[in-house]
Amino acid sequence: MPDIDPWGDVEIGNYKQKMKDFGIEPITDLEDKLPDSHLISRGIIFGHRGLDEFLEAKEKGREVAMMTGIMPSGVFHFGHKSVVDQILMYQEMGAQITITAADIEAYNTRNMSLKETREIVIEEYLTNYVALGLDLEDADFYFQSEGGNNYHLRSKQFARHLTQNEVEATYGSAAPSKITSALTQYADILRPQFKENGGPKPVVVPVGVDQDPHIRLTREIARKYREADFYKPASTYQKFMRGLQGGKMSSSDEKSHIALTDSAEDALQKIDQAKTGGRDTLEEHRKKGAKIEEDMVFELLAFHLIEDDSELERIREEYSSGEMLSGELKQITKEKLENFLVEHKQKREEARPIVKQYLQNR
C-alpha cells in the first residue's frame, strides 16, 4: 500500500513524519513573506512544496495563480472551510483563482451520478464559497466534466509520462477509475498555465496532505511535458480538523461535523456532546488543567471561531491551567457558533442569486 491514499480514509496527525518521508518543507521558513493569517500563526497550514518560487514571483509583481478543487461528495462542513479560507487568502494576495468541482472524480470513485454531484456543488459548495466571501466573478470555476476540449486532451496526453510502476508505487493501485481521476487532476493543477489561460506562471495548490501524491506526480509531468513550458506547481498543506468526537471528521457521520447549514439548535447540541480535554473531576481539573490537545471544542475555536490570536491565547492559558472549565469553554463556543451560523444563513441567501447568475452567464 502507498503511504498516503488520496481516495482512502485520511490519517490525521503525524504531520512531522509525513514531512520527513515526503520532503515537504515547513511553512515557518516563509512566515515573514506570507500574509498575517490565523492559518499560518496557528500552524493550520504546516508545510509546502516550492512555495518560495511562487512568493518570489509575487514579490516581483509577476502574475501568479492559485488552483484547487473539492470532490463534491456531501455536505459542506467546518472541515472544508479551511480550504476556502486559504482560497480567500490567495485571492487577497492578488493571485488568479481557479477552482474545480471534481465531478468526474466523484463519478468514478464515489459511484455518484453527474447530476447528483452538480446539485451538491451548487447548494453545498458554490453557495458557501460565495457566502464566505469568494468573488466568483474574479475566478475561473469549472466542472471537470465541462473543462473543455484542450483540458481533456492534455489530461490524456499526460498519461505518456507515467509508468505503471510509478502509478502503483504512488497510489497502491492502477485501477482505471483512479488513473482517470488522477489524470484529470493533473490537468486541473496545470490548467492555470494553459495558453488559453494566460500561459505558464507560478501556481500554488492548497490541499490536505492526502492529495500530495497528485502534487508530486504533477510536478513530474510539468517537467516532462514538451508542448508547454510549465512551472512545477507549488503546494501548501493544511492539517485536517478532527471530528467533534475525536477521530475523523466526515460528511457521512452527522455527529462528527457541524455543517455550515446546520441549524443553530442542532449545532449547539453537537457542542454539548463533543469530546473535551476536561478532567474527570472538578478537583482534578483545577489541579492539572485541561488536556487541550484532546479538546475538539478548542480545536473548533482555533480553526474557525476566534480571529484574534490574543483572545485565543487567553482562553488557552485559562483552560490549560484549570481556571476555565469545559462547560465554560463550551458556553463561549456556543455563543460564537450561533452568531456565525445565523449570520452565515443570511449570507447564503444573498449568495444564492449570485451563484445562479454566475452559472447562467458562464
Shortest distance in whole angstroms from residue 53 CB to ligand TRP: 18
Chain residues 233-292 in contact with ligand TRP, contact rule CB under 6 A? none
Q: Does 180 bind ligand TRP (CB under 6 A)?
A: no
Give the residue with the Cβ less far from ligand TRP, 71 or 260.
71
The residues pairing with 77 across neighbouring beta strands, listed in sequence order, are 259
Contact segment (CB under 6 A) with ligand TRP among 61-69, 163-171, 222-230, 260-268 equals 61-69
Q: Does 312 bind ligand TRP (CB under 6 A)?
A: no
Q: Does 69 bind ligand TRP (CB under 6 A)?
A: yes
> CA 335, CA 344: separation in Å to the nearest integer?
14
> CA 18, CA 332: separation in Å to the nearest integer?
34
Give the residue with the Cβ less far from ligand TRP, 27 or 67.
67
Contact segment (CB under 6 A) with ligand TRP among 85-93, 100-108, 275-283, 286-294 equals 100-108
The residues pairing with 143 across neighbouring beta strands, listed in sequence order, are 101
Q: What would the grid cell of residue 326 be?
A: 469545559
193 and 228 in contact (C-beta within 8 Å)?
yes
Give the residue with the Cβ less far from ligand TRP, 6 or 322.
6
Q: Does 102 bind ligand TRP (CB under 6 A)?
A: yes
Which among 234, 230, 258, 264 is positioned nearest to 244, based on CA atoms? 258
> CA 354, CA 362: separation in Å to the nearest integer?
12
Binding mask 139-168 for ligand TRP (x = CB under 6 A): ------------------------------
Distance of CA 32 to the CA centre of its chain: 22
Q: Does 105 bind ligand TRP (CB under 6 A)?
A: yes
Q: Which residue among 82, 108, 180, 211 contacts ligand TRP (CB under 6 A)?
A: 211
In angstroms, what CA-CA distances link 59 with 34, 54, 92, 220, 230?
11, 9, 14, 26, 20
Shortest distance in whole angstroms from residue 301 CB to ligand TRP: 25
Q: Does 98 bind ligand TRP (CB under 6 A)?
A: no
Q: Does 221 bind ligand TRP (CB under 6 A)?
A: no
Shortest distance in whole angstroms from residue 276 CB to ligand TRP: 30
Q: Which residue among 39, 205, 244, 315 contacts ligand TRP (CB under 6 A)?
A: 205
243 and 249 in contact (C-beta within 8 Å)?
yes
The site that binds ligand TRP (CB under 6 A) totals a number of residues, namely 15
Question: Residue with CB nearest ligand TRP?
Answer: 69
Q: How would you classify the pairing of strands 45-49 and 234-238?
A: antiparallel
Q: Does 86 bind ligand TRP (CB under 6 A)?
A: no
Q: Does 333 bind ligand TRP (CB under 6 A)?
A: no
307 and 339 in contact (C-beta within 8 Å)?
no
Q: Does 185 bind ligand TRP (CB under 6 A)?
A: yes
Q: Does 117 bind ligand TRP (CB under 6 A)?
A: no
Shortest distance in whole angstroms from residue 111 CB to ligand TRP: 15
Q: Does 322 bind ligand TRP (CB under 6 A)?
A: no
Question: E strands, the chain, where?
Answer: 25-26, 45-49, 65-70, 96-101, 139-143, 203-208, 234-238
Q: Does 188 bind ligand TRP (CB under 6 A)?
A: yes
Shortest distance in whole angstroms from residue 109 CB to ligand TRP: 8
In angstroms, what CA-CA distances link 61 with 23, 158, 244?
28, 31, 42
Q: What is the DSSP string of 262-309?
A: --HHHHHHHHHTS-----SSHHHHHHH---GGG-HHHHHIIIII---H
298 and 277 in contact (C-beta within 8 Å)?
yes
Contact segment (CB under 6 A) with ligand TRP among 46-54, 204-212, 238-246, 250-258 equals 204-212
Binding site for ligand TRP (CB under 6 A): 6, 67-71, 100, 102, 105, 185, 188-189, 205, 207, 211
